[in-house]
Chains A and B, each alone.
Chain A
Amino acid sequence: MLKRFFYSKKIAPYIFVLPFIITVLLFWAAPISNGILLSFQDILKDQWVGTQNYERLLSDKIFLKAIFNSVKYMLGTLILLIPFPLLFASLLNSKLMKKPGLFKSAYFIPALTSVVVAGTVFRLMFGEAAGSLANQVIGFFGFSPIKWLKNAETSYFILLLVACWRWTGVNILYFLAGLQSIPSELYEAAAIDGASKWQQFTKISIPLVKPTSVYVLTISIYAGLSMFLESYMLFKGNNSPNNIGLTIVGYLYRQGIEKRAMGYACAVGCILLLIIMAVNLIQLKLTGAFGKEEK
């Protein structure tokens, strides 16, 4: 009886995917639905408040600023962290490259360091005192000291710098994996036909590495919009001058944990979920990622 149950072709697949389904239900579906319910409540007073949290969000300038900051950061990381790693990956993949392993490790090591440590080091490097590293460097070129972390533009630059320093290596690895799965015959054939290295890159590498690009794009959108720790460490806490470093998750944290407004924080979380879903669905649609599966 039991044997038949386990050997049944109809049931076996479900047993195999069961752990995954349970995980999704327990750690994904349940918290999300609970979060949605909580977003219609005032937890401290233990009351249902209808859409009040959402109404307050709409007129909350700080929340709008947080969305603006997160979107700006996400766009910046997309512009910097997709083309350049792809380029570096093809350089590393090229046979002309000497000691690619060394470069790969060098690029990858920042991803292994703790954001907490990195953020602190960057904060001190970009301190506003004239003796900080960054100010000494620009002082060498005759500029006067800058208050790096008090200015919206300079702090945006530093956030992107941290992101590039940290994630370039990871994205290189993704692209490298994609590039290595392209058969070398294609390149040989192109070379025989007289295609230059650049033409091989644009006509063979880029189109064939598209699935990887779509994947990297998707996780980059998600990572960019949900960034929190980098800003938290760089500004030594969740409170940056004029909220120039406040992100959506930072605002969620401020409301939920620091101000104990859990219901309001859940509303922030729901909006974040909606934004990320919407952006990614549009993006996946445009890049044709859905179409492929239907084939």
Chain B
Amino acid sequence: MKRRVLAALLSVTMTAAFLMGCGKDAKRETVATNEMEVEGDDVTTLKVWTFIEFHQKFYTDMAKKWNQEHPDKKVKLVLSNLSYDDMHNKLSLALESKEGAPDVVDIELGKFPAFMVGEVGLRDLTDVIEPYKKSIVKSRLDIYSKEGKIYGLPTHVGATVAFYNTDLLKTAGINYEDIKTWDDFKEAGVKYYKATGKSFATIETTAQWMINLMLAQKGGDYLKEDGSLNVNNEIMAEVLEYIKGMQDTGAFSVIPGGQPDNEEAYPCYNNGEYAVQIMPFWNTSRFVNYMTDLAGKVAIAPTPVWKTSDKEFASIGGGGTGTAIVASGKHADLAAEVMAYIKLSEEANKEVWNVLGFDPVNTEVWSDTEITQNADNQYVKYFSNYPFDTLNKIKDNIGSLGSLTDEKWPSINNEFCTVTLNNIFENGMEVKEALKESQATLENEFKK
């Protein structure tokens, strides 16, 4: 009897192990490499790592165009998509050990400064960017630069804009076009909350899209001008106190997941539990893919400012993917030239909008109404106004925060998104106290 039980148990175990094995294989497939097919003998193979899968199609489409235009310098891209953390960690180890790095790699803005520490293992791209430079938003090149050298090719501007659910706002008698300042924004929130009993917008605890915008508009930052740590400063405290004031009205609350761009938050917007997002422009792709019930109900507008009379930034660039070339690669020069074409040429910039729904870094595309108002475009269809009308209004006034490119940024970002903002907006800690504590933690970390 016992033996039969044991046999049964074993077979169950083996079946389960077998199924688990299948699971593992299936997982491996999603990391599988994706090879381009190119005819001809004189073709250079380039290895490319990405962390967002739909960038791959964009790259291969553009590489085909390059091959047509440059039959003497044909390339074949071999693309591997890895998960976000995995890819950056692998890259870091590969550069450290000088083994196994790809030719081309997509690096996310938040991780970029980590690769600028010590001896930089990436190729200086200043020369290949030169031909395209004049039509590109300068601040997007600056974020991937160190000591005058540019190491990353930008994908989009990521201009921070406001996404208003006009349907919901109408029920509360609010016209989003009247919201010009943060005070208006807060007031509209209170009015909306009174009328509907629902939250107007989110308070962020796991990202700083709105916080960074407000901070940059006031001329603040996380670091002093000499680069030393200064998170516990007056302007920072003012901004966070102001947001705390918003939270105290009850009209603003922390959304599940702590920021608009995550899997728990999408349904909240889709159900109409929150009406407004202050987010970078690339969030258009999240709306179209994950908040399908809102089609035709969302308008894109410039974000509020502190005072309309001041010369404040109308927006800042948020997030970003910098494509870098590994310096030690055998074909680094060719890779740099090809990728600059793939990412920065006019053709490429049109595709960035058409395929990915991002705001391209070549602002000439922004005024090409044939593309930006193309009635067949899924993004144009989704939003209730033309997205680029808003972008063109803020075009000349898109700033950035200096600290985003500093090597201290990944640690500061980490501290804010795990500790500081949670202390203030979830645990009710005084703003000054929370900042003081985080300043101390970070100082300890940078003490060397």
Contact = CB atoms under 8 A, between A and B. Distances in A.
Interface of A: 42-45, 52, 56, 59-62, 100-101, 104-105, 108-109, 112-114, 117, 127-129, 131, 147, 150, 237-243, 254, 257-260, 262
Given A240-B418, A243-B418, 17 more contacts: A52-B448, A59-B444, A60-B444, A60-B445, A61-B444, A101-B5, A105-B8, A108-B13, A109-B12, A112-B17, A112-B20, A113-B16, A129-B256, A241-B205, A254-B414, A258-B89, A260-B96
Given A112-B16, A239-B414, A242-B427, A129 B268 contact: yes
Interface in B1-35: 4-5, 8-9, 12-13, 16-17, 20, 23-24
8 contacts: A61-B444, A105-B13, A108-B9, A108-B13, A129-B268, A150-B422, A240-B418, A242-B427
A147 B253 CA distance: 13
Nearest to A104: B9
A128 B256 contact: yes
A104 B5 CA distance: 9
Contacts of A45: 118
B447 interface: yes
Contacts of B293: none
Contacts of B118: 44-45
Give 10 nearest A-B pairs by CB, closest first. Answer: A101-B5, A112-B16, A105-B12, A241-B422, A128-B256, A129-B256, A239-B418, A101-B8, A257-B89, A44-B118
B264 A127 contact: yes
B396 interface: no
Contacts of A61: 441, 444
A261 B221 CA distance: 25
Contact of B23 (A56, A109, A114, A243): A114
A62 B444 CA distance: 10
A159 B414 CA distance: 22
Given A239-B418, A241-B205, A259 B410 contact: yes
Nearest to A245: B418
Contact residues of B: prevailing secondary structure? helix
A218 B148 CA distance: 56
A265 B427 CA distance: 30
Interface in B421-435: 422-423, 426-427
A244 to B, nearest CB: 9
Contacts of B272: none
Interface residues on B, range: 35 or more
A240 B12 CA distance: 36
A288 to B, nearest CB: 31
B419 interface: yes
B264 A260 contact: no
A20 B8 CA distance: 33
B400 to A, nearest CB: 23
Nearest to B426: A150
B267 A129 contact: yes
A242 B422 contact: yes
A72 to B, nearest CB: 18
Contacts of A101: 4-5, 8-9
A105 B7 CA distance: 11
B417 interface: yes
B371 interface: no
A254 B93 CA distance: 14
Contacts of A104: 5, 9
A107 B423 CA distance: 40
A16 B89 CA distance: 40
B119 to A, nearest CB: 9
Given A112-B16, A241-B418, A259 B441 contact: no
Nearest to B419: A242
B411 interface: yes
Interface in B380-436: 410-411, 414, 417-419, 422-423, 426-427
Contacts of A117: 23
B423 A237 contact: no
B247 interface: no
A243 B4 CA distance: 48
B427 A62 contact: no
Nearest to A59: B444
Contacts of B17: 112
A62 B441 contact: yes
A147 B427 CA distance: 12
A259 B114 contact: yes
B27 to A, nearest CB: 8
Contact of A259 (B206, B411, B417, B444): B411
Contacts of A59: 444
B117 A260 contact: yes
Contact of B9 (A56, A105, A127): A105
Nearest to A243: B418
A262 B17 CA distance: 35
Interface string B88-114: 010011001000000000000000001
Nearest to A63: B444
A242 B417 contact: no
Contacts of A262: 96
Contacts of A43: 96
A8 B442 CA distance: 63
A239 B410 CA distance: 12
B234 interface: no
A134 to B, nearest CB: 13
A257 B9 CA distance: 40
Contacts of A56: 444, 447
B226 interface: no
A163 B294 CA distance: 40
Given A108-B13, A112-B13, A241-B418, A260 B447 contact: no
